[in-house]
Amino acid sequence: MDATIVDRGRGPEIVGTRITVYDVLDYLELGWHHTAIAATLRVSSDQVLAAMKYVEEHRDDVMAKYQKMLEREARGNPPEIEAKLEAGRAKLRQLLKERRKATVQEPADAGDSRGQ
């Protein structure tokens, strides 16, 4: 697997994956070993080591952006996004309710497709 880091506009990421150095950094901040990170993210240890090297070589920039990400995450979604999310959840709950109701109404002894 390629252990190169590239920035395609959404942050530096491991080539061939959607894993960013910030994803790796989350685990590093928790004290995880690079092999455990690799297994969890399903990438090679070399790829995690490349991400770690990138973080070290660009520490000030990476940490500044990482801190902004953590702050944004802590604030949560704006009210208009939360409203859209809740509307989607409500729609899903309704669909599940209808599906459960339809399943309960099906006869238990409907038999197979041969009429048996």
pLDDT in tens, 58-77: 999 999 999 999 998 899 98
Q: Considering the domain boundaries, does residue 59 fall inside one?
A: yes
- Whole-angstrom distance, CA of residue 7 vs CA of residue 10: 7
- Whole-angstrom distance, CA of residue 56 vs CA of residue 12: 13
Average pLDDT over every residue of 21-35: 96
Share of the chain above pLDDT 70, in %: 90
Of 92, 94, 19, 86, the closest CA to residue 50 belongs to 19
Asked if 41 and 19 count as a contact pair (C-beta separation under 8 A), the reply is yes
Average pLDDT over every residue of 28-37: 96
Domain span holding position 96: 77-106
Q: Considering the domain boundaries, does residue 88 fall inside one?
A: yes
pLDDT of residue 114: 61
Is residue 62 located within the same domain as residue 97? Answer: no
- 43 CB-side CA count, 13 A: 26
Q: Considering the domain boundaries, does residue 41 fall inside one?
A: yes
Is residue 28 located within the same domain as residue 53? Answer: yes
| Global confidence as pTM | 0.66
Q: Considering the domain boundaries, does residue 112 fall inside one?
A: no
Q: How many domains does the chain have?
A: 2
Average pLDDT over every residue of 2-19: 91
